[in-house]
């Protein structure tokens, strides 16, 4: 009995059943709504022929709406597939995504997000296709009161250089060199697994990145990751669009709460603005009569630790607040130098401080918690943290990806090393941070009476 290749069976099933049984869209145009499903769709023409195709996706509040075009042409194997448009208008949060499948396995993916505005006559998105694939899916998505309109849509292809030039293997080798030289948990990697994951000579860059991500998971540190070029662009956009300022409030007479959110930006001006929001909270608390402080890290998911520490340095001091400890035993101290334009706040190092954490406190949020460990008149409350009290170093790869490697553990001012969850001095019960604030407030009240214990 002869055997029929699995990929061939998959394509036949897609043609007959429209891929719905496998969870894939049918060939050609289709629509899908999620959430409130208050969507308006329109699609016309064939993007494979000329420039006559148009797409409209209009989503109301609470909805995610998408128009999908699926094709199974094999004309693009080992080529770069481009999606171009004569004109694009976006209002709100929208994006275009390309995905390629070999059977049920994803073998290629690219995403580009759009803010409100218009584009004319340009390539919207590109994806390098592997030698073997069954289906390409193009998605036009609008979310939460957004509208996306594309005119003159067309699909084109060009010869790909990466497979011919061995770029996939080069990127994999570049990443492996960095992992071997710097990764804290490199010894956890099986050499056979490293070799088995090496991409084939005709692999795409996406396949090389997937192989790198597999090895990063095998490191087991839970903190190392790879961001593709489009992911890097999206992360930078989010870091500028979603910055939260620190806030404060008086909990009780003499006791102020400083809520320190996460901060993901790298822009110098944004870092200054964020650090100053903490400084402004401290200064306002002082003016309102605060003599003791609760530093709330319960919702801090991490990001860039330095603006957080710069803002809190009146409580912490500028030197000796912690360090990074590397796998070779060397260390790098955390020194807070301050920056031009930072608001001046009186020295608060002798003030009692309670630090509140939760299971959401992660990464750089945990670094801030470590910086308070060993500080006089300081006690921590709440729940154990996420367990990412490790430092990542960023490396830019030749293809524009960024490799974030866990290279060190956090060490407090007394030389105690971490690397996992931080358990507070006093674990508090209850939903949310309010129970922790109550316990912290009681302790700080005792401190203000000269009766607190650390």
Residue 238 binned pLDDT confidence (cut-offs 50, 70, 90): low
CA distances from 319 to 310, 316, 417 (A): 11, 8, 18
Query: How large a percentage of the chain has pLDDT more than 70?
Result: 91
Element containing residue 35 per DSSP (H, E): strand 28-35
Per-residue pLDDT of 140-156, as tens digits, reads 999 888 999 999 999 88
The whole-model pTM stands at: 0.81
Residue 327 binned pLDDT confidence (cut-offs 50, 70, 90): very high
Mean pLDDT of 347-354: 97
Would you call 299 helix, strand, or coil by DSSP? coil
pLDDT at 453: 76
pLDDT at 6: 36
DSSP, residue by residue, 321-378: S-EEEETTS-EEE------TTPPP----TTS-EEEEE-TT--THHHHHHHHHTT-TTE
> What is the spatial distance between Cα 126 and Cα 155, in angstroms, rounded to a whole number?
10
**Position with higher pLDDT, 265 vs 437:** 437
pLDDT at 99: 94
Per-residue pLDDT of 380-432, as tens digits, reads 999 999 999 999 999 999 999 999 999 999 999 999 999 999 999 999 987 67
Mean pLDDT of 332-354: 90
> What is the spatial distance between Cα 353 and Cα 447, in angstroms, rounded to a whole number?
9
Pick the CATH number of 25-159 from 3.40.50.280, 2.40.50.140, 2.60.120.260, 2.60.40.420: 2.60.120.260
Mean pLDDT of 315-336: 93
pLDDT at 2: 38
With contact defined as beta carbons under 8 Å apart, do 351 and 292 qualify? yes
Residue 282 binned pLDDT confidence (cut-offs 50, 70, 90): very high
Lateral strand order in the sheet of 247-252: 247-252, 255-259, 292-296, 353-357, 378-382, 426-427
Domain locations in the chain as residue ranges: 25-159, 162-220, 238-448
Q: What letter would DSSP give residue 431?
A: S
Mean pLDDT of 256-281: 93
Residue 249's contacts (CB-CB under 8 Å, 6 or more residues apart) are 256, 257, 259
> What is the spatial distance between Cα 79 and Cα 160, in angstroms, rounded to a whole number?
5
For residue 7, pLDDT over 50 is answered with no
**Position with higher pLDDT, 300 vs 6:** 300
Q: Parallel, antiparallel, or unpaired: how do β-strands 255-259 and 292-296 relate?
A: parallel
Residue 49 binned pLDDT confidence (cut-offs 50, 70, 90): confident
For residue 5, pLDDT over 60 is answered with no
> What is the spatial distance between Cα 377 and Cα 98, in angstroms, rounded to a whole number?
55
pLDDT at 14: 41
CATH fold of 238-448? 2-enoyl-CoA Hydratase; Chain A, domain 1 (3.90.226)
**Position with higher pLDDT, 70 vs 12:** 70
Least-confidence region, from 59-73, 160-174, 262-276, 430-444: 160-174
pLDDT at 429: 81
Mean pLDDT of 194-203: 90
Residue 264 binned pLDDT confidence (cut-offs 50, 70, 90): confident
* Mean model confidence pLDDT for the chain: 88
pLDDT at 239: 61
For residue 9, pLDDT over 50 is answered with no
For residue 110, pLDDT over 60 is answered with yes
Mean pLDDT of 301-320: 94
Least-confidence region, from 144-153, 156-165, 209-218, 356-365: 156-165
Mean pLDDT of 240-257: 89
């Amino acid at each position: 009995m002869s055997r029929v290749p699995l990929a061939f069976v998959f394509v036949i099933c897609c043609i007959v059943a429209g891929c719905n049984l496998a969870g894939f869209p049918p060939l050609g145009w289709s629509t899908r709504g999620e959430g409130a499903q208050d969507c308006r769709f329109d699609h016309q023409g064939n993007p494979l022929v000329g420039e006559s195709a148009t797409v409209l996706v209009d989503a109301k509040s609470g909805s995610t709406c998408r128009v999908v075009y699926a094709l199974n042409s094999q004309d693009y194997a080992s080529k770069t597939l481009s999606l171009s448009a004569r004109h694009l208008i976006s209002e709100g949060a929208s994006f275009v995504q390309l995905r390629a499948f070999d059977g049920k396995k994803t073998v290629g993916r690219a995403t580009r997000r759009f803010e409100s505005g218009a584009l004319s006559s340009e390539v919207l998105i590109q994806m390098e296709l592997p030698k073997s694939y069954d289906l390409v899916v193009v998605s036009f998505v609008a979310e939460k009161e957004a509208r996306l309109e594309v005119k003159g849509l067309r699909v084109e292809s060009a010869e790909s250089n990466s497979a011919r030039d061995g770029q996939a293997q080069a990127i994999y080798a570049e990443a492996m060199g960095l992992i071997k030289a710097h990764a804290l948990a490199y010894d956890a990697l099986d050499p056979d697994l490293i070799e088995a994951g090496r991409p084939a000579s005709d692999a795409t860059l996406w396949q090389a990145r997937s192989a790198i991500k597999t090895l990063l998971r095998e490191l087991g540190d839970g903190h190392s990751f790879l961001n593709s070029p489009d992911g890097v662009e999206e992360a930078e956009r989010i870091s500028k669009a979603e910055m939260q300022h620190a806030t404060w409030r008086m909990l009780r007479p003499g006791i102020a709460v400083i809520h320190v959110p996460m901060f993901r930006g790298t822009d110098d001006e944004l870092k200054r603005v964020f650090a100053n929001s903490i400084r402004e909270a401290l200064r306002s608390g002082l003016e309102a009569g605060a003599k003791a402080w609760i530093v709330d890290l319960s919702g801090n998911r991490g990001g860039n630790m330095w603006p957080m520490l710069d803002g809190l340095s009146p409580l912490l001091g500028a030197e000796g607040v912690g360090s990074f400890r590397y796998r070779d035993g060397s260390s790098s101290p955390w020194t807070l130098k301050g920056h031009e334009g930072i608001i001046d706040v009186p020295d608060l190092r002798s003030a009692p401080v309670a630090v509140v954490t939760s299971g959401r406190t992660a990464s750089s949020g945990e670094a801030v918690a470590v910086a308070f460990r060993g500080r006089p008149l300081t006690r921590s409350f709440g729940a154990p943290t996420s367990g990412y009290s490790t430092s990542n170093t960023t490396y830019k790869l030749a293809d524009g990806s960024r490799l974030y490697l866990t290279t060190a553990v956090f060490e407090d001012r007394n030389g105690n090393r971490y690397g996992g969850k931080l358990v507070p001095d006093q674990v508090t019960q209850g939903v949310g941070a309010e129970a922790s604030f109550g316990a912290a407030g009681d302790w700080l009240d005792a401190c203000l009476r000269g009766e607190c214990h650390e």
